[in-house]
Amino acid sequence: MANVTWKGVYPALLTPFKQDDAVDFEVYQKNLQAQLDAGVDGIILGGSLGEASSLSNEEKRHLLLYSKEHIPQDFPVIINIAEQTTKAAIQLAQDSEKNGADGLMLLPPMRYYADSKETLEYFKAIASSTSLPIMIYNNPVDYKIHVTLDMFEAMLPYKNIQAVKESTRDISNVTRMINRFGDRFHILCGVDTLAMESLCMGAHGWVAGLVDAFPQETVAIYRLVKAGMIDEALKIYRWFLPLLELDIHPKLVQYIKLAATHTGIGSTHVRAPRLPLEGEELKRVTTIIETALANRPELPDYLNLKHKKDATRA
């Protein structure tokens, strides 16, 4: 759909829970509004390293429908697909399209270590089952399946496969993708600690985690880089890095929820088997967050910056 540009900041949103384990739509709304106010370019529901595995399809549908009711009409909502079978993935893709999703983030098959042919057939089957635009999630570090450049070559005929969430941890892969495919695939960095580096190398966007607690700082970095204001972005990014490192830990959900609680737009409740933070770990992460808040930088008027190409013409 035309409203998904695959450019800018796309938060992988937290799913807040109440004490009784139900989805907390009141807290969700508060966080969603903070993202919109900060200037994000779309949202992603049910992130795979987050709590997608603990949400039922019915809960994902409710989150989608609720989100569509509380955002501007053309604002992109992306549904994450992380399923174990092709049939289940196709069903979720089709249900998401029917319920108003604007795009899909698609992982390789879960649990089963599919080879390249199996992974490609999985991607192709899902792409053929929906008209929604698709972003392939390439994260061999966490999911063990590497979507290679040759595999992207094989996906060229599938016009709705339009983007990649680049999480290989190899910053050179941004350049390899551009060198081989030009602008055929939009590239969104999927690792918070490599975000500015990826944007400087030509990535089109950022699928972000700590944005859930710090939306303004995240969008400011993106906008400043794209306006060519590298020094200004770098000052914020250096301040941000200790927080961004919370995104690359198995307990990223607990860590980011704690950070969002400290900034007033989240809660710490998680679903088992995840457990709340405690003891030294809680103290350590709290110290990182409180230190950052005590030194929070003053942001420029980042929402009114011109893109570098526009600035050149001005």
Tell me, yes or no, if 28 is annotated catalytic: no
The answer to whether the CB of 190 falls within 8 A of the CB of 13 is no
Tell me, yes or no, if 165 is annotated catalytic: yes
The answer to whether the CB of 227 falls within 8 A of the CB of 305 is yes
Catalytic residue among 137, 143, 222, 255: 137
207 is in an annotated binding site: yes
Question: In Å, what is the CA distance from 4 to each residue of 41, 78, 101?
Answer: 9, 9, 11
Catalytic residue among 60, 165, 226, 257: 165
What are the φ and ψ backbone dihedral angles of 137, each rounded to 5 degrees? -95, 110
CA nearest neighbour of 94 among 55, 136, 125, 52: 125
CA 57-61-63 angle, to 5 degrees, is 115
Give me the sign of the Cα torsion angle 306, 310, 312, 314. Answer: negative
Catalytic residues: 137, 165
Binding site, annotated residues? 207
Binding site, annotated residues for pyruvate? 207
